[in-house]
Structure 1
Amino acid sequence: MQKIVPNIWCNGNAEEVGEFYASVFPTAHAEVESHYPHEGLLDFQQPLAGQPLTVGLTIAGTRLVLINAGDEFSPNPSVSFMLNFDPLLFDADEPAARARLDEVWEALSEQGSVMMPLQEYPFSKRYGWVQDRHGVSWQLMLTDPAGDPRPFLLPALMFCGTAQNMATQAVDHYLDVFREAGTDTELGMRVTYPAPQGPATTDSVMFSDFRLGDQWFTAMDSGVEQDFSFTCGMSLEVNCADQAEIDLLWGRLSAVPEAEQCGWLADFAGLSWQIVPARMAEIMQTPGAFERMMPMKKLVIAELEGASAG
């Protein structure tokens, strides 16, 4: 099971969003995985009774989850997805990898907005950053196969707005926390700005990547003033082996008491996490589990299972 699963908040259209990405990426697959119950919902959830709750999306072996909800939150570019078009990953030459990149770019940019044009940059022969029609941001890069291997899709964190220049502190914290929880971690590359750029200083991170377990992530401090930062629109769901792991991660990551609800928390930089048991899908199929969960902050497995026991 994938340890950390990026979650994307959708405004009642998770099935449509999943179908869109399944059409963009040739190997992608999307399917409804759970539904809202008909009882135990809060008032604002009543219109969703019986409707899909989550849609599972797999892109090149990486699992994402689309949350079907209301208009309370939406994705923004503080969390995007880096797509590495490495010829070695595609068992192809550079022109073929470039052609695949261009096809995906065309599909994602249709009815979307370009944040950085698709062109050559000092760090890549072909790179572009686009926010698609559903508000999700993607960074497409033609990768040098001579570099260290990385997966096709990496969640990318941009520390900006209220989290500006927190990349180093945050990444070091994540590495320490997950290492304490028994997960193997690694800091890969970390490059700072050679000169001040916008709100970024020479201590700010221009690019870095890091590994939590088997998964790679990227992080950077924005070199442009931004009026947004992390929200529940994009969150990281952590599948925990047991209550002890839930307790440890919750205690080390949660820094905003008012953000604690139903296993959700926000860390000191504002990044949203969902700390859940790995058996969450099984537990939530039992009668009364959803209703029992709603008033919880940190999830307690015994109490969730107690709901199914009567």
Structure 2
Amino acid sequence: MPEITTLLMFQGRAEEAMTLYTSLLPDSEVLTITRYGPEGPGAEGSVVHATFTLSGQRYACMDSSQPHDFTFTPSTSLYVNCETEEELDRLYAALSEDGQALMPLGDYGFSRKFGWVNDRFGVSWQLNLPA
């Protein structure tokens, strides 16, 4: 079977995003980082490819060596079922800092508490406290 990994493509902020995400969730760590050297084609020190885990789930990220006019869209998001209301509130606060609230924390009828944000990097997060 082929291995399928979610890849997040940034424009110069991959390591910053990965560091934030792994600091917020348990059982999370940076596994590998390969950086561009002075020969490019990306900015020296930026991320060619990196792997990390969030709550044991494997992800990859990179800094695009090519400028582009697109970024992340909320139609694809990371969905987190939180174990406690305190955890949900903490994640919502950290991920919405310098980001954008798409759905403020509240009871929308399908869970005890839910919030949806785009973080400062443009990655969309749905945070849920199951009923």
Q: Which residue of 1 aligns with 2:98?
A: 111
The 3-state SS of whatever aligns with 1:46 is coil
Query: Quick one: distance in 2 between partners of 1:50 and 1:139?
Result: 31
- The one-letter amino acid of 1:107's match is A
Q: TM-score, normalised by structure 2?
A: 0.84
Q: Which amino acid aligns with 1:3?
A: E
Residue 119 of structure 2 corresponds to 132
Counterparts in 2 of 1:2 and 1:18: CA distance versus 1, 3 Å? farther
1:130-188: CA deviation from partner (whole Å, max 9, x where unpaired)? 000010000011113xxxxxxxxxxxxxxxxxxxxxxxxxxxxxxxxxxxxxxxxxxxx
AA aligned to 2:67 is: D
In the superposition, the TM-score normalised over structure 1's length comes to: 0.38
Corresponding residue SS for 2:41: helix
Equivalent residue, structure 1, for 2:53: 58
TM alignment of 1:71-220, pairs within 5 A: 71-72=67-68, 73-85=70-82, 87=83, 97-144=84-131
Q: Deviations over 1:45-93 (max 9, x none)?
A: 53436743112121111111111114314212121011112x4xxxxxx
Which ranges of structure 2 fall in alignment gaps of 5 or more residues? none
Moved over 3 A (4+): 35-39, 47-51
RMSD, aligned α-carbons = 2.4
Distance in 2 (alpha carbons) for counterparts of 1:55 and 1:112: 23
Please tell me whether the aligned partners of residues 32 and 52 of structure 1 are also in contact (alpha carbons under 8 angstroms).
no
- Shift in Å, 1:111: 0.9
Please state which structure has a larger fraction of its residues in helix: 1
The count of corresponding residues between Structure 1 and Structure 2 is 129
When Rg is computed on C-alpha atoms for both structures, the one with the higher figure is 1
Q: Distance in 2 between matches of 1:98 and 1:12?
A: 33
Q: 1:22 to 1:2 in 2, by over 3 A?
A: farther
Distance in structure 2 (CA, Å) of the matches to 1:2 and 1:99 = 37
Name the structure where strand makes up a greater proportion of residues.
2
For 2:80 and 2:67, how far apart are their aligned partners in 1? 27
Gaps of 5+ in 1: 40-44, 88-96, 145-310
TM-fit CA distance, 1:36: 4.1
What corresponds to 1:14 in structure 2?
A: 14
Contact 2:36 2:42 in 1 (8 A): no
Alpha-carbon distance in 1 for matches of 2:45, 2:98: 31
**Which residue of structure 2 aligns with residue 197 of structure 1?**
none
SS at match of 1:78: coil
> RCO (CA 8 Å, sep 6+): is it higher in 1 or 2?
2
Identity of aligned residues (%): 35
| Correspondence for 1:46 | 41
Task: Go from structure 1 to structure 2 and tell me whether the alpha carbon gap of 1:137 and 1:50 turns closer, same or farther (over 3 Å shift).
Answer: closer
**Aligned residues of 1:10 and 1:66 also touching (Cα < 8 A):** yes
